[in-house]
Structure 1
Amino acid sequence: MTDPRPVIAAVRDGRGLDGPGAALIAQGLADGSVSDAQAGAFAMAVLTKGVGTKGRVALTRAMRDSGHVLQWDLSGPVVDKHSSGGIGDTVSLVLAPLLAARGVFVPMISGRGLGHTGGTLDKLEAIPGFLCDQPEDEFRRIVRTVGCAIIAATGDVAPADRRLYGIRDESGTVESIDLITASILSKKLAAGLDALVLDVKSGSGAILKKPDSAERLARALVETANGAGCRTAALITDMDQPLARSAGNALEVAEAIRVLRGEAGALRDLTLALAAECLALAGQSVDGLEATLDSGAAAEVFGRMVAAQGGPRDLLDRPAAHLGAAPVIRAVPAPQGHVARIDVTALGHAVLALGGGRVRAGEGIDHRVGLDRMAKLGEPVGPDRPLALIHAADDTAAEVALAAVQAAYVIGEPAEPGPLVRDRITA
């Protein structure tokens, strides 16, 4: 069968999607034999009728197999983590070296930020000389010798998804859980993983703000990834406040280094929780995980990874010397009281307006700018305890951000923060 129309009609009529049909659609997306009109019709059929777990598994596998799928021959399991995106989410920079320090291998293929959430690659590119674009042989060498590497996807990783991603935006089908699931997992599973842990955010700073939406996505991802042969679990985690104290690329790298050096806080706590899930999925012991982080072993791996990917060898010892500083730093004043509520998405947009993110793919960003020392829920603020520090390129940008940050915070009676991990989803 080479005509995609019967496959589209089957999905449209509620008859589902099987393996051969998914393969035809995915290959046609990759090689151009499925037209934009047909791709849009397929996406709309999936949105309106759904394809169920079996159909999601079939589509995920087919999209994964539309390009190059890595295979590994290493001395330990191959694992990774995916986050649905939030503010101050710098987990990957701590998690990858922590897992590598425990003897598992982390070939992390990540993306750049778009919209109010930051991207892992943008954070790493705040490090002078760090190269996210690595040829496959070099990627393999770094993973084998260091234990982890974080790179950008090459053009031959899940090309069907790259085409369908744009079609979804144009056809108004972005919110389809089936298509979101296949998009995320086809790229992750192309890395040849043995295990995957998912961090699905819920709250005011998340893409999926409602708990039931986050749970639906988490369950679809876990069911589909396990059905595709990769041991997977998900944590639904809090994004009603920023995860870290910083939002902005260089500032988040500096905070990740502090966590690798022993700093406490939610970023450390969530990293440990996700690392424990990942190790358990890979059949590894989780005993002594905190000790591994506290010993400096993860920091040492991070330093080796940075050097292997072109960054400075002394970044851990001299982060301030290498991470660019913004010329304007301004405290955001607050009335006396406690943090009662935070519009976390608004904080992300403030960083975006400072130049620390992008609205359209391909736009340049200023790695120096962002927010630091952000107040969290329930904490006291006032004339001597600002809401945050703004790092800006100039005074005008700082003034605009100051107003935006003030508007994002509600000051009143102290709020009790919810649990960092709201739920755990397994097969």
Structure 2
Amino acid sequence: MAHSVIDVIRAKRDGDRLDDEQIDWVVDAYTRGAVADEQMAALAMAILLRGMDRAEIARWTAAMIGSGERLDLSGVPRSTVDKHSTGGVGDKITLPLTPLVAACGAAVPQLSGRGLGHTGGTLDKLESVPGWRARLSAPEIRAQLAEIGAVVCAATEGIAPADRKLYALRDVTGTVESIPLIASSIMSKKIAEGAESLVLDVKCGSGAFMKDLEQARALADELVSIGAAHGVRTSALLTDMSVPLGSAVGNALEVAESVEVLRGGGPADVVELTLALAREMLAHAGLSDVDPAEVLASGKAYDSWRAMIGAQGGDPDAELPTAAHVETFAAPATGVLSTLDAYAVGLAAWRLGAGRARKEDAVQHAAGIRCLAKPGERVTEGAPLLELHTDTPEKLPAAREALAEAVAITAEAPAATPLILDTIRP
């Protein structure tokens, strides 16, 4: 071995910074299996406790990128711009955003993932469209970007294999929360996807991974810094995730709501965030003179959606799955809905079958929750507040239990929280 893994672990355990050679070696050796899981777990814990400086994080990210292939999009005849969300409840923004930005003239290579726990996955949502396929080859991705400008698909197997291996290890060793490891995980995959620029949606609140604004800002700062270090134009929006985004939580339910947005309707918060992210992406792509609101209203984004779905084998006119059982959750009092906790709603949707506990689990495409009221609206005791959708009614009691503390009703309306909390640029 060129280095001793024990020495690398000890160095970080004692608060020392790792040099470039140590980082390159340990990431490569772990990917090849020369460093054991228990050794990398010890190093991940040391990183969580001791942190990394920006130079270390940038080098760790570069080593993760270097563990696999980098998608070559140089032949795509449009400016390429990607978007990544740190995940939330009802966060279906990729679905209307990708075809909208494509309809505005940019190309969006949106390589997405599956849901785990209370947050949904974009691929799970789109697989509720009959015939749609998630797996495309690199030539197929390039061809679809050149022709349509929009692709949402699974990452190819060669993208950042070190991250895939380390992510699974962090999930079972209590080291998920490390900002250096979160930031390098996100950015290694995104930079390897080959887009010229990137906009991040960093969520903050009960339904997000980062619960408070200070944490979210720290993560956003690191993500933007890594992008700059690797020559990728990067910015981040900090957005609220204390309340579910939109009215629909669950795979087919969220697809239906996204189509509403693309056809000129949909919930105001989904439209607001879609347009804000689109404007930021278009600025990166040199298309600031294009108004995404006008393009959305024109129907061109909906046409782009239909083309994108059809190109991947899906039928945009097909009926989406519907749940075999739908029950309502009633308002417990009369007054103003002041709280609708995003985490509790996400957990309930997961228990209904919309999500998975392990990567190999299947999801119910029709399962989920529809929010019939949002904070600030008046509700009446006994009136339907939420709809619970599932194919397995035996799951309903556990979902209702998750919702027991999700709702608060008061006499006065709460102070409005802005959806977009801040923007972070280099």
Cα distance, 1:423 vs. partner?
1.1
Aligned positions of 1:145-184 closer than 5 A: 145-184=147-186
In 2 relative to 1, CA 15–410 (structure 1 residues): closer, same or farther, beyond 3 Å? Answer: same
User: Is structure 2 residue 357 aligned with structure 1 residue 359?
Assistant: yes
Instruction: Give the Cα–Cα distance (whole angstroms) in 2 for the partners of residues 387 and 223 of structure 1.
Output: 42
Figure out how many residues of one structure are paired with residues of the other and give that number: 421
Cα distance, 1:403 vs. partner?
5.0
Cα distance, 1:17 vs. partner?
2.8
Q: What SS class does the counterpart of residue 325 from structure 1 fall into? A: coil
**TM-score normalized with structure 2 length:** 0.94
C-alpha contact 2:372 2:385 (8 A) present in aligned 1: yes
C-alpha contact 2:345 2:402 (8 A) present in aligned 1: yes
Aligned positions of 1:73-222 closer than 5 A: 73-222=75-224
User: Is structure 2 residue 420 aligned with structure 1 residue 425?
Assistant: no
In 2 relative to 1, CA 46–127 (structure 1 residues): closer, same or farther, beyond 3 Å? Answer: same
CA RMSD of aligned residues (A): 1.8
Q: What SS class does the counterpart of residue 388 from structure 1 fall into? A: strand
Instruction: Give the Cα–Cα distance (whole angstroms) in 2 for the partners of residues 420 and 53 of structure 1.
Output: 29
User: Is structure 2 residue 39 aligned with structure 1 residue 35?
Assistant: no
Residue type matched to 2:371 in 1?
R
Cα distance, 1:347 vs. partner?
0.5
Instruction: Give the Cα–Cα distance (whole angstroms) in 2 for the partners of residues 329 and 408 of structure 1.
Output: 19
C-alpha contact 1:202 1:208 (8 A) present in aligned 2: yes
Q: What SS class does the counterpart of residue 109 from structure 1 fall into? A: strand
Determine the structure 1 residue equivalent to 2:277: 274
Residue type matched to 2:304 in 1?
V
C-alpha contact 2:240 2:419 (8 A) present in aligned 1: yes
Deviation readout 1:64-93 (Å, 9 max, x if unpaired): 111010111222211111111111100000
Instruction: Give the Cα–Cα distance (whole angstroms) in 1 for the partners of residues 243 and 47 of structure 2.
Output: 33
Cα distance, 1:395 vs. partner?
4.1
Cα distance, 1:204 vs. partner?
1.5
Instruction: Give the Cα–Cα distance (whole angstroms) in 2 for the partners of residues 4 and 157 of structure 1.
Output: 27
Residue type matched to 2:314 in 1?
G
Determine the structure 2 residue equivalent to 1:290: 293
C-alpha contact 2:341 2:406 (8 A) present in aligned 1: yes
Cα distance, 1:407 vs. partner?
3.4
Instruction: Give the Cα–Cα distance (whole angstroms) in 2 for the partners of residues 300 and 384 of structure 1.
Output: 41
In 2 relative to 1, CA 208–374 (structure 1 residues): closer, same or farther, beyond 3 Å? Answer: farther
Cα distance, 1:303 vs. partner?
0.6
Q: What SS class does the counterpart of residue 389 from structure 1 fall into? A: strand
Determine the structure 2 residue equivalent to 1:401: 399
Determine the structure 1 residue equivalent to 2:344: 346
C-alpha contact 1:4 1:24 (8 A) present in aligned 2: no
C-alpha contact 2:104 2:290 (8 A) present in aligned 1: no
Cα distance, 1:289 vs. partner?
1.5
C-alpha contact 2:339 2:375 (8 A) present in aligned 1: yes
Seq. identity, %: 43
Q: Which moved more, 1:4-13 or 1:265-274?
A: 4-13
Aligned equivalent of 2:369, options 351, 368, 371: 371
Determine the structure 1 residue equivalent to 2:304: 301
In 2 relative to 1, CA 14–104 (structure 1 residues): closer, same or farther, beyond 3 Å? Answer: same
Unpaired runs of 5+ in structure 1? none
In 2 relative to 1, CA 409–234 (structure 1 residues): closer, same or farther, beyond 3 Å? Answer: same
In 2 relative to 1, CA 287–384 (structure 1 residues): closer, same or farther, beyond 3 Å? Answer: farther
Instruction: Give the Cα–Cα distance (whole angstroms) in 2 for the partners of residues 296 and 169 of structure 1.
Output: 42
**TM-score normalized with structure 1 length:** 0.94
C-alpha contact 2:216 2:238 (8 A) present in aligned 1: yes
Cα distance, 1:405 vs. partner?
3.3
Cα distance, 1:399 vs. partner?
4.9
Unpaired runs of 5+ in structure 2? none
Instruction: Give the Cα–Cα distance (whole angstroms) in 2 for the partners of residues 407 and 172 of structure 1.
Output: 26
Cα distance, 1:406 vs. partner?
5.0
Determine the structure 2 residue equivalent to 1:332: 329
Cα distance, 1:400 vs. partner?
4.4
